[in-house]
Amino acid sequence: MSKGAKLCGVTQSAASQHVQEVERRLGAPLLDRAKRPLELTPAGKLYADFCRDVMRQEDEFQLALERLKQEVESTVHVASIYSVGLSEMSRLSEEFSASHPTARLEVEYMRPDKVYAAVSGGQADLGLVSYPQSSREIAAIPWRDEEMRLAMAPTHALAGRQLVLAADLAGIDFIGFDEDLSIRREIDRFLRVRGVTVHMVMHFDNIQMIKEAVALGSGVSILPARSMQAEIERGRLVAVGLEAPGLVRPVGIVHRRRKKFNRAAQAFLELLLPGGAEKARLAG
């Protein structure tokens, strides 16, 4: 009894009282006190086994929890729209793992509405979207404005130009975005304020398809310059600048308000945007 008390870091009295309290609760003696040294009764053996089982289970739980905490603390989940670009992202990913070797970055590409849902639902720490929208529970931080250029097949009549004016696009065969996308509305506005109407021949919900159609000569389009880099290098597309003030696509970082970032998320935010973690904290 005294030894047990010492092991538990309490006095002999506390141990004695505790054992008696347990016996009272269980309604059965755990120790045979008529003999010294004290012996366990059958009920005592049963209880000891039970306690050992529980302690073993607690150990297992603690271990699992530590693994989980490690996991959660060290990986940042990013939800991104497709058009941020795989090449851009792989560059970021390399930079990140170089500067933070213990952290892990997990990027998942999805439609814009899914990005918001992932951030809102907590599956993603950060979201990358164009035309970022704040809301009650989502905070947005501007990241960068991507220059938009006129995309066309190398064989197109305008392919040799250094600059294209809005007026040049009047009546042109045009491949656009679906009407429910922000980028579509922005392009429409750009053309409308300049009094230009294009001939919309097709529309898609993603950049990849538009690039395909443009390369096949179905028409021209206005796309983020960065998203065409690979096709331009391979000579499949030509991109020409638009008249100043040009068209830009703002890309932003969204996150859930009041949710504090783990180390990895903070680090990634800092990589995207020096001082970004502080900005996010202020944006709440």
Partner DNA sequence: GCATATCATAACCTGTACTAATTCTGTCAA
Partner DNA sequence: TTGACAGAATTAGTACAGGTTATGATATGC
Q: Is 193 in the site for DNA (CB under 7 A)?
A: no
- Residue 40 lies near a copy of itself (rule: CB under 8 A): no
What is the maximal distance between C-alpha atoms in the chain?
107
Q: Under a CB-based contact definition with an 8 Å cutoff, are residues 249 and 145 in contact?
A: yes
At which residue do the structure tokens 């305008």 appear? Answer: 158
Contact 220, 151 (CB under 8 A): yes
117 touches DNA by CB under 7 A: no
Query: Per-residue x/- marks for DNA, 219-258, CB under 7 A?
Result: --------------------------------------xx
Report the C-alpha gap between 206 and 47 in whole angstroms: 65
CB 31 within 8 A of CB 19: yes
* 63 near a copy of itself (CB under 8 A): no
Q: Which of 7, 27, 37, 160 binds DNA (CB under 7 A)?
A: 37
CB of 191 closer than 8 Å to CB of 174: no
Query: What gap in Å lies between CA 277 and CA 187, rounded to an integer?
Result: 32
Give the interface size with a copy of itself as a residue count (CB under 8 A): 28
Taking Cα atoms as reference points, which of 186, 262, 204, 216 lies closest to residue 82? Answer: 204
Which one, of 179, 148, 108, lies nearest residue 242 by Cα? 148
By CB under 8 A, name the one of 8, 24, 42, 165 that touches a copy of itself: 42
Q: 125-184: which residues touch DNA (CB under 7 A)?
A: 136-137
Residue 11: contacted member of DNA, a copy of itself, none (CB under 5 to 8 Å, by partner type): DNA
Tell me: does residue 69 bind a copy of itself (CB under 8 A).
yes
Q: Which range in 25-33, 81-89, 90-98, 234-242 contacts a copy of itself by CB under 8 A?
A: 25-33
Helices (H), the chain: 2-8, 12-26, 42-74, 86-99, 112-121, 182-193, 207-215, 229-233, 263-272, 276-283
Q: Residues 16-35 vs DNA: string with x where CB under 7 A?
A: xxxxxx---------x-xxx
Residues that bind DNA (CB under 7 A): 1-2, 9-14, 16-21, 31, 33-38, 136-137, 257-258
Residues that bind a copy of itself (CB under 8 A): 26-28, 32, 34-35, 42-43, 46-47, 50, 53-54, 57-58, 61, 64-65, 68-69, 72, 121-122, 137, 256-259
